[in-house]
């Protein structure tokens, strides 16, 4: 699934419906930036290996997937009911991985104070609360003025909505979408440019130019 120029660049009065994801890919935020309203679906069913609880960054050793562990869930569990597992210290591991990946980036020191306390002090029970916290921090940094609301039931089809819930699937949100404009990445000389990583990659590498890139 490749996002068209119309989807990525056109403002619309039609609200877009999305899942709450963990440090979502860049194109996820490109879509959000160009909407008047975002509706997060809390009742969508959890699927393994989706961006609900994982993100992708460029590490010194190549592409790295960071996964938030969850507790055992039943069949067709709603996202709002997915609980986080704290059996091992994944928050420390994730933050240290991000430090190793982006300490040398131009803007890491400008933004680390926004994220470091979350990984040390924030310990919510549910995955959606964790993802919402991350989204709010990034949205504040980007100074996005956007109306956010949440679903109150599961619907297979949402009428009069720009339904993009499928973008939680890595196979749908293609890492090789057209019209990708490269930016300088920390390990680009070693690995080449990697498109559509987590928004955190763009933020630490481009800083206050992030919104301009997303537009």
Show the domain range for 151: 5-214
C-alpha dihedral, 30 to 35 to 39 to 45, nearest 10°: -30
What is the per-residue pLDDT across 15-48, written as a single tens digit (0 to 9) for each? 788 889 999 999 888 888 777 788 898 988 888 8
Q: What is the pLDDT of residues 120-141, one digit of tens each?
A: 999 999 999 999 999 999 999 9
User: Rounded to a whole number, what is the largest CA-CA distance in the chain?
Assistant: 47
pTM here is 0.85
β-strand partners of 65: 56
SS3 195: coil
Tokens representing residue 140 in the block: 């504040």
Give me the pLDDT at residue 151, please: 84
DSSP string, 99-132: HHHHTTSTTHHHHHHHHHHHHHH---SBHHHHHH
Higher pLDDT, 81 or 28: 81
* 65: three-class secondary structure by DSSP: strand
Residue 145: predicted pLDDT: 79
Q: 62, 190 in Cβ contact below 8 A? A: no
Distance CA 58, CA 195 (A): 10
Please give the distance of CA 190 from its chain centroid, rounded to a whole number: 25
Number of structural domains (the chain) is 1
- Burial (CB count within 10 angstroms: exposed 0-12, middle 13-18, buried 19+), residue 79: buried
Residue range 190-210: mean pLDDT, rounded:
93
């Amino acid at each position: 699934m490749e996002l068209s120029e119309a989807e990525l660049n056109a403002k619309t009065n039609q609200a877009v419906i999305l899942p709450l994801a963990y440090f979502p890919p860049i194109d996820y935020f490109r879509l959000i930036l160009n909407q008047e309203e975002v509706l997060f679906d809390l009742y969508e069913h959890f699927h393994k290996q989706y961006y609900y609880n994982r993100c992708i960054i460029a590490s010194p050793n190549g592409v790295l997937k960071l996964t938030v562990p969850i507790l055992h869930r039943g069949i067709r569990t709603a996202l709002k009911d997915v609980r986080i597992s704290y059996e091992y210290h994944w928050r420390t591991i994730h933050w240290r991985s991000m430090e190793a990946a982006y300490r040398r980036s131009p803007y890491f020191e400008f933004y680390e104070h926004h994220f470091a306390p979350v990984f040390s002090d924030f310990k919510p029970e549910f995955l959606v609360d964790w993802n919402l916290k991350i989204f709010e921090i990034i949205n504040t940094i980007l100074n996005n003025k956007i109306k956010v609301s949440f679903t109150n039931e599961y619907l297979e089809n949402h009428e009069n909505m720009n339904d993009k819930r499928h973008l939680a699937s890595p196979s749908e949100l293609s890492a090789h979408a057209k019209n990708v404009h490269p930016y300088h990445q920390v390990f680009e000389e070693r690995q080449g440019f990697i498109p559509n990583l987590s928004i955190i990659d763009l933020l630490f590498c481009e800083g206050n130019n992030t919104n301009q890139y997303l537009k």
